């Protein structure tokens, strides 16, 4: 098989696409507030601007996954990268707040398309006993992007002004678009039939996986502001807080491929359960943070547990879909992305509310039972073939 149509090339391109998407997201963290203030935005408006990303991400994830089940993966993922290119140029040349909001909304849609269709493509080309390894490779690339994205954004901003970081992302997006346009997607190793979205949602294993994704996403996003707030009371500044997240990103970058191989060997559902058990044990230990060294050690340990959930759960979503006889991976990973986005939206808001009323230690202790409930559900619900999935078909995946 030629490089143009090999499975390894598909993994490399999906990794590059998700890497570019995360770099685009991470670059916006240090740059977008400055650009917004330059255009007269208030702190509340800046908050709404950042939150608007989630609106289109949640809106497009399942529909675009369903569309890719019907028309194939190549055209939607090319469209997603073109959208990221357009959003980056809008950020670079926006001269008013409405244009910034338009750019952020387009960026959220691009994120939803790229991740959903990219992982659906991987699931098309690899069997269940290989997906963990491949997913680990993709996630290693995205963790690396998390690690270097804000640094790249800040450096480019200082070197060339506020436009240069976004132009850099536009160039990466254009390269990704060209590479996917060149790539010839191999035929799926099994026939894919479009099924109604409701059929996918009614599969218990898929539903439990989605709940687990909401739980881990909300936990991670809850910790991000809460740890910063707690460390501020201990006299730890933003620079050192950034170093804590950098250390965690290094560890998770190393762990993702390793955990992926373990998911292939021991089962993705089993490894997801192990990951949740680790988080359930580690999260209360975060209450022991008393200074900068303890924060580094405990947060790195907790972040390690998250790697044992994220990579296996991505493989588990594909496995549960296959076991149900559906193989509509676009819809399944659209649901995964929807669940992740819901956690990103709900986690910080819930965490902030509880932090104000309970304090740091009680918040962590109160959060743990929710994870325990999800752990029990994961351990109880197993993948089983779905009669409705195998017998019920539809001419449109959007019906």
Full pLDDT tens readout for the chain, 399 residues: 678 889 999 999 999 999 999 999 888 766 777 778 788 877 677 777 877 888 888 899 989 998 998 888 999 999 999 999 999 999 889 888 899 899 999 999 999 999 999 999 998 899 888 899 999 999 998 888 887 887 787 788 788 888 898 999 999 999 999 999 999 988 764 555 566 677 777 888 999 999 999 999 999 888 877 887 888 888 877 667 777 878 888 898 899 999 999 999 999 999 999 999 999 999 999 989 888 899 889 989 998 999 999 999 999 998 888 888 777 888 889 999 999 888 887 888 788 888 888 888 999 999 999 999 999 999 998 765 544 444 333 333 222
Fold of 3-182: Growth Hormone; Chain: A; (1.20.1250)
Positive or negative CA dihedral for 283, 284, 285, 291?
Answer: positive
Cβ neighbours around 231 below 10 Å, total: 21
Output DSSP code: residue 185: P
How many angstroms separate the CA atoms of 331 and 228, rounded? 36
Cα 379–Cα 263–Cα 146 angle in degrees, nearest 5: 105
Task: Find the helix or strand (DSSP H, E) in which 23 lies.
Answer: helix 7-38
CB 102 within 8 A of CB 83: no
Cα 283–Cα 146–Cα 234 angle in degrees, nearest 5: 45
φ/ψ of residue 392, rounded to 5: -105, 120
- Considering only the top CATH level, what class is 197-390? mainly alpha
How many angstroms separate the CA atoms of 44 and 64, rounded? 31
Q: Which two structure tokens, joined as six digits, stand for 237? A: 């500044």
Q: What is the pLDDT of residue 179?
A: 95
φ/ψ of residue 207, rounded to 5: -65, -40
Q: What is the pLDDT of residue 396?
A: 30
CB 28 within 8 A of CB 91: yes
Q: What is the pLDDT of residue 268?
A: 92
Q: What is the pLDDT of residue 326?
A: 76
CATH 1.20.1250.20: which residues of the chain? 3-182, 197-390
């Amino acid at each position: 098989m030629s490089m143009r149509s090999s499975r390894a090339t598909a993994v490399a391109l999906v990794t590059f696409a998700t890497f570019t998407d995360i770099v685009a997201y991470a670059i916006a963290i240090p740059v977008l507030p400055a650009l917004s203030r330059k255009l007269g935005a208030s702190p509340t408006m800046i908050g709404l601007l950042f939150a608007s990303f989630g609106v289109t991400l949640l809106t497009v994830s399942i529909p675009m996954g369903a569309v890719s089940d019907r028309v194939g993966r190549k055209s939607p993922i090319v469209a997603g990268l073109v959208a990221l290119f357009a959003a980056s140029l809008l950020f670079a040349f926006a001269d008013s707040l409405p244009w910034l909001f338009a750019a952020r909304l387009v960026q959220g849609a691009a994120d939803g398309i790229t991740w959903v269709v990219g992982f659906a493509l991987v699931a098309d080309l690899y069997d269940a006993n290989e997906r963990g390894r491949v997913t680990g490779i993709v996630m290693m690339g995205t963790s690396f992007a998390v690690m270097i994205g804000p640094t790249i954004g800040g450096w480019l901003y200082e070197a060339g002004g506020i436009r240069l970081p976004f132009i850099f992302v536009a160039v990466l997006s254009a390269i990704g678009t060209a590479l996917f346009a060149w790539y010839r997607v191999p035929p799926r190793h099994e026939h894919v039939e479009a099924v109604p979205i409701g059929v996918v949602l009614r599969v218990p294993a898929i539903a439990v996986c989605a709940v687990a994704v909401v739980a881990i996403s909300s936990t991670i996003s809850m910790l991000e502001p809460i740890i910063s707030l707690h460390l501020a009371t201990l006299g730890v500044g933003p620079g050192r807080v950034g170093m804590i997240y950098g250390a965690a990103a290094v560890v998770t970058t190393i762990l993702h491929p390793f955990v992926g191989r373990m998911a292939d060997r021991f089962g993705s559902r089993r490894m997801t359960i192990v990951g949740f058990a680790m988080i359930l044990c580690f999260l209360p230990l975060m209450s022991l943070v008393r200074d900068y060294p303890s924060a580094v050690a405990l947060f790195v340990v907790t972040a390690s547990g998250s790697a044992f959930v994220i990579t296996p759960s991505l493989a588990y979503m594909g496995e549960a879909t296959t076991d149900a006889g559906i193989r509509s991976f676009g819809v399944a990973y659209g649901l995964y992305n929807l669940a992740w986005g819901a956690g990103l939206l709900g986690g910080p808001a819930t965490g902030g509310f509880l932090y104000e009323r309970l304090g740091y230690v009680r918040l962590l202790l109160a959060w743990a039972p929710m994870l325990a409930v999800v752990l029990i559900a994961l351990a109880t619900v197993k993948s089983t073939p779905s009669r409705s999935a195998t017998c019920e078909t539809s001419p449109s995946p959007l019906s």
